[in-house]
């Protein structure tokens, strides 16, 4: 019997475990892989993510390693025209290694918090004396009961499926992501360089003086190569063949072990608004709740927000009652769902439209929609989303922290 069980040791899962620990709630994290998942190589975190990391007490571990991005440029591949961009001082993002973020979160947890190679076979909810217990059965025969079950198990979440959320839909686009390594130093400024062509968008940004994070998204279907050498060759000889030599050189310096090419999936925004993001004492967070395309760089940011908001609602109930009361969990999770639904639906929609407008055609209608509708109106609205403050976590008393490992 556990107080809380979290499925998935990704960003959302580990961050939620840290949020609960802050108030004295021990969570067991079940991870199907045999180690921390680092797919994605790196990600860019905007102010809303750093506010969440502040609340979790780990931002200082990363800000000392990664410098803010002050600006950069966008190059139109067909004309060579370059548009300079700059970030306001209160918006400057930082790009970080995914592994560094996961390790910073994992270090905040007790050593036995994550159970690796834990593959779930079934999920159920049992009622006893008016109280609900979430029950998960693992492939190795282990059965675990908990007062709250949180699915942070990615785009194809088994917990989301149990809740009745529809399967994520394919955006019609896919993305390659990876690291480029320059042992002698790359010499680039701390800026983002983007390249836009019809149906394609690419770019790179420094992580440190020897590594760059780079990407390319394109209008491709689900069937994309998996072999890293094939991926690199396809990008250089086909998808980015007309791109500036500056970008092609970055791709040639790719660390092949970091390369991934995956379809960009998203949750139907209406499913976010009207679907079951929580049911009794079960809920979801991160990509399990709101998979979205990467065009706004908000997937990881929202996952960190989720952790703080969910941690706050569960912790408030915990502090009020002095323990986790199973029958109170449904109310706490319902409040969490109501707080997150509309923001997630808005950013899923905005991210998809951002990619669609930027990678659309070059006819007069698309130019009008892109220049007038998107950049003239929608982009400013979406940009303000990165300043969102998800709030703080409540403080637990010494007695509550002392009893955090006890279960009823």
Q: Is 287 exposed, middle or buried (0-12, 13-18, 19+ CB in 10 A)?
A: buried
Q: Is 189 exposed, middle or buried (0-12, 13-18, 19+ CB in 10 A)?
A: exposed
Question: Burial letters for 112-125: b for 16+ Cβ neighbours within 10 Å, e otherwise?
Answer: ebbeeebebeebee
Q: How far apart are CA 184 and CA 80, in angstroms?
A: 29
Per-residue pLDDT of the chain (408 residues; tens, 9 = 90+): 899 999 999 999 999 999 999 989 999 999 999 888 766 689 999 999 999 999 999 999 999 999 999 899 989 898 898 988 888 878 889 999 999 999 999 999 998 999 999 999 999 998 877 678 899 999 999 999 999 999 999 999 999 999 999 999 999 899 999 999 999 999 999 999 999 888 899 999 999 999 999 999 998 766 788 899 999 999 999 999 999 999 999 999 999 999 999 999 999 999 999 999 999 999 999 999 999 999 889 999 999 999 999 999 999 999 998 888 888 899 999 999 999 999 999 999 988 888 777 666 566 566 666 666 666 666 666 678 889 999 999 986 555 554 444 444
Domain positions in the chain are 2-386
CB 257 within 8 A of CB 181: no
Q: How far apart are CA 219 and CA 359, in angstroms?
A: 8
pLDDT score of 359:
60
pLDDT score of 404:
47
pLDDT score of 361:
59
Q: Where are the beta strands (DSSP E) in 34-130?
A: 42-45, 71-76, 82-86, 94-97, 114-115, 120-128
Nearest to 280 by CA among 126, 73, 83, 115: 126
Neighbours of 316 (CB within 10 A): 16
Question: Burial letters for 361-395: b for 16+ Cβ neighbours within 10 Å, e otherwise?
Answer: eeeeebeebbeeebeeebbeebeebbebebeebee
Could you tell me which residues come within 8 angstroms of residue 380 by beta carbon, excluding any fewer than 6 positions away?
A: none
Handedness of CA 239, 212, 265, 345 (dihedral sign): negative
Phi and psi (nearest 5°) for 243?
-75, 160
pLDDT score of 407:
41
| Helices 11-23 and 47-56, packing angle to 10 deg | 40
CB 347 within 8 A of CB 302: yes
Does domain 2-386 match CATH 3.50.50.60?
A: yes
- Cα pseudo-dihedral 369, 372, 378, 382, rounded to 10: 110
Structure tokens at 367: 């130019």
For the chain, the distance separating the N- and C-terminal CA atoms, rounded to the nearest angstrom, is 8
**Whole-Å CA distances, 117 to 16, 139, 161, 235, 354:** 20, 9, 21, 34, 37
Neighbours of 328 (CB within 10 A): 20
Q: Which residues pair with 128 in a beta bridge?
A: 131
Structure tokens at 74: 């966008």
């Amino acid at each position: 019997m556990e107080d809380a069980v979290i499925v998935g040791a990704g960003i959302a899962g580990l961050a939620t475990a840290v949020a609960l620990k802050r108030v004295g709630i021990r969570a067991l994290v079940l991870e199907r892989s045999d180690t921390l998942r680092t797919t994605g190589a790196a990600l860019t975190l905007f102010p809303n993510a750093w506010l969440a990391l502040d609340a979790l007490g780990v931002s200082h571990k990363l800000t000392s390693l990664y410098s803010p991005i002050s600006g950069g440029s966008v190059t139109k591949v067909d004309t060579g025209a370059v548009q300079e961009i700059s970030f306001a001082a209160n918006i400057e993002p930082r790009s970080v290694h995914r592994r560094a973020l996961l390790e910073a979160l994992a270090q905040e947890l007790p050593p036995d918090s994550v159970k690796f190679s834990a593959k779930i076979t079934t999920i159920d909810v049992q009622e006893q004396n008016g109280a609900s217990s979430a029950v998960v059965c693992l492939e190795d025969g282990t059965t675990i009961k908990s007062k709250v079950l949180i699915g942070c198990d990615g785009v194809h979440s088994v917990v989301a499926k149990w809740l009745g959320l529809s399967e994520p839909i394919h955006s019609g686009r896919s993305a390659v992501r990876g690291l480029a390594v320059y042992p002698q130093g790359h010499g680039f400024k701390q800026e983002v360089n983007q390249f836009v062509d019809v149906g394609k968008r690419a770019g790179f940004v420094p992580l440190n003086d020897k590594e760059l994070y780079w990407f390319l998204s394109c209008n491709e279907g689900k069937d994309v190569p998996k072999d890293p050498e094939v991926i690199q060759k396809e990008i250089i000889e086909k998808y980015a063949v007309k791109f500036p030599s500056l970008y092609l050189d970055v791709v040639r310096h790719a660390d092949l072990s970091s390369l991934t090419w995956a379809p960009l999936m998203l949750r139907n925004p209406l499913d976010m608004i009207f679907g079951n993001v929580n049911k009794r004492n079960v809920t979801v967070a991160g990509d399990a709740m709101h998979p979205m395309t990467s065009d706004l760089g908000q997937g990881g940011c929202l996952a960190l927000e989720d952790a703080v908001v969910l941690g706050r609602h569960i912790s408030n109930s915990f502090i009020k009652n002095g323990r986790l009361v199973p029958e109170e969990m449904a109310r706490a999770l319902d409040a969490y769902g109501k707080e997150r639904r509309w923001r997630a639906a808005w950013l899923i929609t905005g991210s998809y439209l951002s990619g669609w407008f930027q990678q659309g055609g070059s006819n007069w209608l698309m130019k009008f929609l892109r220049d007038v509708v998107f950049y003239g109106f929608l982009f400013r609205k979406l940009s303000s989303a990165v300043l969102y403050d998800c709030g703080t976590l409540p403080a637990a008393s010494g007695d509550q922290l002392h009893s955090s490992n006890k279960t009823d």
